[in-house]
Amino acid sequence: MTAAASQPYAIYRTSATPDEPAGQVVDRIVRDGTGNWKPATGLAAVADPAGRYPIGSTYTATA
């Protein structure tokens, strides 16, 4: 059996809160793609293998 490759993700806000604007990166995770996972309400994940979105930076989603 082959192990799944790990992938880093930036977790960002999809809507503003009183303390953080929409798009603010609030966490980073590394996932191997196994199991079911989804970000909490108000958050989204974007693959970030190059590390362009550290915590505190702003991610702008593209349509």
Q: What is the DSSP string of 20-51?
A: S-TTBEEEEEEE-S-S---PPTTEEEEE-TT-
Please say if the pLDDT value at position 1 is more than 60. no
Share of the chain above pLDDT 90, in %: 78
For residue 46 the two structure tokens come to 């974007």
Name residue, tokens 């915590």.
Answer: 55
Residue 29: half-sphere exposure toward Cβ, Cα within 13 Å: 13
Residue 63: pLDDT band with limits 50, 70, 90: low
pTM score, two decimals? 0.87
